[in-house]
């Protein structure tokens, strides 16, 4: 292992002793070593992409300094939509990509959208955040929620299911839960006309 490997968890540094000189057990031991090597490479690739805000150093009682990564958060919520199909919403600061998991600087809050006949209600969980730190930006069909403080970073762009009246929005924040209520915009009236006979 290289000197940089001191930064990796202790269980990554352990090596199995050969189980036996027996060909069967020797193959199993070789497979374990190959798996450990692959896991170590994946861990190195992942930690190389971690933003610096998620890497901290901690001093141990014996004087050594170790690196700690995180917090890493990934989760999802699922509900059945009005059309009977499942809706899955992800949250956290880990995003899937073709190059493997990516760590974002901001965490996506858990968000729920409820649509009724006259309004669209957005509920977002923002624990540990002051009301004054929350920034909201709305358009007729989207809402952006952002928080950028040294302690908490959240960012989420939400596509709304209907056109809304941004200027008439009402928002409330209590106990880490943000609620934004939009009245729906009226659908444009179809122009009245007269039928025309073809002569």
Of 37, 193, 53, 180, nearest in space to 119 by CA = 180
Q: 154: helix, coil or strand? A: strand
Q: Residues 143-148: contacts with CB within 8 Å, 24+ apart?
A: 143/180, 143/182, 145/109, 145/111, 145/178, 146/106, 148/106
CA trace torsion 101, 106, 107, 110 (10° rounding): -120
Of 118, 165, 119, 123, nearest in space to 141 by CA = 165
So what's the pLDDT on residue 142? 93
Domain ranges of the chain: 3-69, 74-183
Q: Write the DSSP symbol of residue 184.
A: B
pLDDT, tens only, 54-113: 666 777 788 887 776 666 666 666 777 667 777 776 766 666 666 666 656 678 888 889
Q: Is the pLDDT of residue 179 over 70?
A: yes
For 71, counting Cβ atoms within 10 Å of its Cβ (0-12 exposed, 13-18 middle, 19+ buried), the class is: exposed
74-183 folds as: Immunoglobulin-like (2.60.40)
pTM over 0.75: no
Q: Which residues contact 53 (CB under 8 A, 6 or more apart)?
A: 105, 153
So what's the pLDDT on residue 183? 94
Q: Is the pLDDT of residue 184 over 80?
A: yes
Comparing 47-61, 99-113, 126-140, 176-190, the range with the smallest average pLDDT is 47-61
Q: Is the pLDDT of residue 48 over 80?
A: no
């Amino acid at each position: 292992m290289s000197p940089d490997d001191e930064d990796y968890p202790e269980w990554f540094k352990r090596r199995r002793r050969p189980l036996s000189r027996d060909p069967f057990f020797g193959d199993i031991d070789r497979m374990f070593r190959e798996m450990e090597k692959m896991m170590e490479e994946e861990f190195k690739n992942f930690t190389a992409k971690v933003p610096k805000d998620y890497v901290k150093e901690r001093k141990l009682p014996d004087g050594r300094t170790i690196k700690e990564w995180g917090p890493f958060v990934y989760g999802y919520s699922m509900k059945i939509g009005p059309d009977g199909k499942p809706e899955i919403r992800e949250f956290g600061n880990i995003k899937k990509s073709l190059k493997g998991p990516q760590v974002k600087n901001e965490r996506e809050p858990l968000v729920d959208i409820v649509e009724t006949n006259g309004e669209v209600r957005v509920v977002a969980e923002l624990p540990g955040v002051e009301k004054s730190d929350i920034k909201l930006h709305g358009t007729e069909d989207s809402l952006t929620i952002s928080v950028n403080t040294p302690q908490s970073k959240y960012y989420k762009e939400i596509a709304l299911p209907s056109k809304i009246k941004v200027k008439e929005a009402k928002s409330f924040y209590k106990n880490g839960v943000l609620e934004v209520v939009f009245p729906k915009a009226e659908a444009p009236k179809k122009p009245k006309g007269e039928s025309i006979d073809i002569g």
